[in-house]
Amino acid sequence: MKSIASAPAKIILFGEHFVVHGTPAILAAIDKRVTVSSTFTENGTVKINSELGTLEVSISSLYKYKEVKSEFRPFVYLTNKMIDSNQNVKGLEITINSDIPIGVGLGSSSACCVATTASISGLFKELSSEEILKMSIEAEKTIFPDTSGADCTVCTYGGMIEYPSVEKIDNTFDLNLLIVNSMIPHNTKNSVEKVNKFKENDEERFSQLCDLETKLIDEVITAMKNNDATTFGLKMSENQKYLEEIQVSNDTLRDMISSLNEISLGSKITGAGDGGCVIALVKDENMDKVPALLPKDKECFSAKIDTKGVVWKIEK
């Protein structure tokens, strides 16, 4: 028996960094996915195969998941949690295949946690989406203790959500999003520390920015209800100004955004900043102009909103 599950990547459309300080954020799942398959074995081990390598640990040592390399830790944690309540399991093999770029702020780790939770649990009993979400957040906390759970939430439910209310947003226009990878590895911890330092140095201005972000998100939701892509794009660029002010941008990202603004309705950083990806709202007729605007070492692709979220099935 093989249990197969997949979950989508994500982007933060509005509200990154500010959401940690009490403002809403808008996230969306996109049509890049990670697929995880799990099957029972008789080997007395848990074997994890991924593009990052292979790890094999004995079932008796799963409880030592904190000692495992961070890229495998959530999966060892999950298998320990599930096997612990199913003592007759003799072994598991888990295979992870992903078309989500790693380490660029598109939720690769969250999607992996969600898909792995659904895949492994499918061997024992089918969990609800709420149960999958709760367990996947626990798994992600083994590598990111301060995670808000926002990424796992949108990877679980799909579509577009306002966080932390987890209210689904029905977009009335078809977003054509361009995602450009700066090819600069981002460090979420460092970016968060920079934002915290900005707040400490000027609490009054940071509070004003939080209020502005909250107002902006209200305006975005209204724009979507009114099928107003132009205002949506303008609000992306406005949000970018706030991100510039809290100092999570750099010259490379700035240059990319400036170039994309020549053909887009709006563009901004998505995620932690200081590297990773930028996103732009681009009309179909302008997509073929993108390569000429960007340095040849940058990767880009178009993305649509994924509405399915996590899905799973059993093959016998």
Query: Residue 190: which H helix or E strand, with range?
Result: helix 188-201
Report DSSP state, residue 101: P
Residue corresponding to tokens 């987890």? 166
Q: Where are the beta strands (DSSP E) in the chain?
A: 2-14, 25-40, 45-50, 53-58, 92-98, 160-163, 167-168, 177-181, 264-270, 277-282, 299-303, 311-315
Give the rounded distance of the alpha carbon of 201 from its chain centre: 29
How confident is the model over 6-54, as pLDDT tens digits? Answer: 999 999 999 999 998 999 999 999 999 999 999 999 999 999 999 989 9
Are 252 and 182 a contacting pair, CB within 8 Å?
yes
Q: Note the pTM of the prediction, 2 decimals.
A: 0.91
| pLDDT score recorded for residue 172 | 62
* CA separation for the pair 277, 314 (Å, rounded): 35
How confident is the model over 220-242, as pLDDT tens digits? Answer: 999 998 889 999 999 999 999 99
Catalytic option among 146, 151, 174, 288: 151
Q: pLDDT over 90 for what percent of the chain? A: 73
Active site residue 297: no
